[in-house]
Amino acid sequence: MLRKVLFVLVVALCCGAYSIQNFKENYVLITNYRATPEFIKAIADNFDTMRLAGTYSNKDQKKDIKEILTANKKAFVSLDTSKLLMRTDTITKYLQALTDRIQQKNPLLKGKKITLFTYRTEEPNAANWGAGVILVNLDLLSKYTNEEEICITLCHEISHDLKNHVIHGLEEKYAVLNSEAFKKEVKTIKQTEFGKYKQIEALLAKFLSKNTKSSRTKELEADSLGLVLYCNAGYSAYYAFQEMEKLDSIDKPIFFNKIDYSKQFNSPIYPFKKSWLEPEGEEETITGSNVTRERPDSLKTHPDCKIRLQALKRIAKRMNYNTNKPAQSSTAYNYFKTVSLFEELEYNQSEYNVGDAIYQALQLNTLYPNNAYVKCSIVNSLYEFYNSKIDHYMSLVVDYPKNTNPPEYNQMLIFLNNLNLDAVKNILTNYYDTNVKNKINDAYGAYVAALVSSINMTKKDKENLIVEYKKKYNDPHYIRLLTIKFKPKK
């Protein structure tokens, strides 16, 4: 157990500037997480090697697959350029260390280059891109509960790479869409007068269903080999089963706590109104308990989980793997799981997912009521919500209630959609005055102070806010954000 504790401390400290976070009091953002341009170029060059490895008798097939792989290479580089790929941070170093440990325990992986990235996104997934590149999404990290669950996922994605499933998937899709049967039916549809689009759409679904079956076969193959790699690394199959059960509902939000809006936003100057939480008209049915929120299996991020779970159990029995629950599990994962929650909140703010950012900040506030970063994030998100109402783009950054959402999230959406501009402004300023002003004296606190101060300011005065911020903190991350908001484009 001591060895595992030391492991997490070493990994967390190996990023130099970053130390163990004190989540109860504050959170310090991970800002310097990108790989060097040279590193990204070397990884991208591996996609070229992957292209050259394919040998095809059909020249058109070879051309099409090479073009798709070139597009994948560009997409990978684009993710890095958009600052969505994390490599030199504490989370990714931890994931890479777990991968290296798995590799050391499996002779099959000897000499193989496996490169981990953490992908800043809300989608709960992980993916093998081929060429030894694996992306693990922030949201997936936040929804797992232990190290074993993330390790079986890593083994699964490594298995996709070993089986060369990326290339095989492209080959099979090409074969389906270029078959004589498909071309014949397309030709027939083109000769019809009406409904061509719907007929083409139905035809694609029909033919690609063959590819879907093949994709499901690949998932089962990756599950099977992944379980072997995982158990060879010393883990119990118990958690492989648990992870598969969790994948079946992984699309659901992680937070379901009730939010006390009156406690958060009431003030003597501007009292909270209960009517802000009341749905109007037909919306009353949205939060009702009789509404089903189960997604069809075909729409889930990870379909067929029940079938895959049974297959895993059969393999574990045949291989005589240990299926007992271990007496102890590593506590290291808890730290990185929590970091991923905070980084996902920052992602939602940076991508202007305002509704999601407000919800996540309020939920984190229930867990860490004294966390300065969370309080500043509530101010930051409310400020962006205020701007969205001023400039009439609120519907682009805040959703409307849906019966597929959890009731707590719908309650927040009802609250936001019921607020007029003056109400938002008063809630924002009162929350800032009560929770942040003269209480949080750090770079983020000064940043949100500038945002609140900018309300009703002239453009020139807003530019001066940048100058004043530089004098006090000179934090490059927040200076860049203030410059984007307040400095006019030339």
The CA-atom distances, in angstroms, between 464 and each of 401, 433, 454, 487 are 40, 22, 10, 9
Q: How far is CA 94 from CA 10, 142, 336, in A?
A: 9, 14, 8
Average pLDDT over residues 29-56: 86
What DSSP string describes 294-340?
A: PPPGGGSSS--HHHHHHHHHHHHHHTT---SPPS---SHHHHHHHHH
Q: Write down the pLDDT at residue 295.
A: 53
Residue-level pLDDT at 14: 42
| pLDDT over 90 at 5, yes or no | no
Name the H helices within 14-131.
Answer: 37-52, 59-81, 90-104
- Do 256 and 406 contact (CB within 8 A), yes or no? yes
Q: Which of 11-25, 31-45, 231-245, 277-291 has the lowest mean pLDDT?
A: 277-291
CA distances from 284 to 16, 293, 323, 344, 420 (A): 52, 16, 47, 30, 20
Per the model's pLDDT, the better-predicted residue between 217 and 290 turns out to be: 217
Q: Which long-range contacts (CB under 8 A, 24 or more apart) does 294-298 make?
A: 295/251, 295/404
* pLDDT tens string 324-335: 998 777 788 999
What pLDDT does 292 receive? 40
Name residue, tokens 């118990």.
Answer: 238
State pLDDT tens for residues 461-470.
999 999 999 9
pTM of structure: 0.86
Q: Which two tokens stand for residue 64?
A: 């099409």
pLDDT of residue 301: 56
- Amino acid, res. 408: E
Instruction: Report the distance separating Cα 485 and Cα 490, nearest Å.
Output: 14
Query: How is 335-374 classified by DSSP, letter by letter?
Result: HHHHHHHHHHHHHHHHTT-HHHHHHHHHHHHHH-TT-HHH
pLDDT at 54 exceeding the cut of 90: no
Supply the pLDDT for residue 78: 94
Helix (H, G, I), strand (E, B) or coil at 264: helix
Contacts of 23 (CB under 8 A, 6+ apart): 338, 342, 368, 371
Show me where the domains of the chain are located: 2-252+296-318, 261-292+352-486
Provide, rounded to the nearest whole percent, the portion of the chain with pLDDT above 90. 64
Q: Are 38 and 121 in contact (CB under 8 A)?
A: no
Q: Average pLDDT for residues 355-369, to the nearest whole number?
A: 96
SS3 for 402? coil
pLDDT at 297: 55
Contacts within 8 Å (CB) and 24+ apart, 483-488: 485/451, 485/454, 486/454, 486/459, 486/462, 487/463, 488/459, 488/463
Task: Report the length, in residues, of the chain.
Answer: 490
- How much is the pLDDT for 3? 44
Q: What is the mean pLDDT of residues 180-190?
A: 79
Indicate whether 291 pLDDT > 50.
no
371-396 mean pLDDT:
97
Please name which of 373, 342, 359, 344 lies closest in space to residue 401, comparing C-alpha atoms: 359
Average per-residue pLDDT for the chain: 86
The amino acid present at 445, given as its one-letter code, is G
Structure confidence at residue 58 (pLDDT): 74
Among the residue ranges 77-86, 194-203, 334-343, 443-452, the one predicted with the least confidence is 194-203
| Residue 213 tokens, joined | 């079956």
Report yes or no: 152 and 240 within 8 Å, Cβ to Cβ: yes
pLDDT digits (tens, 9 = 90+) for 253-284: 888 899 999 999 998 889 999 999 998 765 44
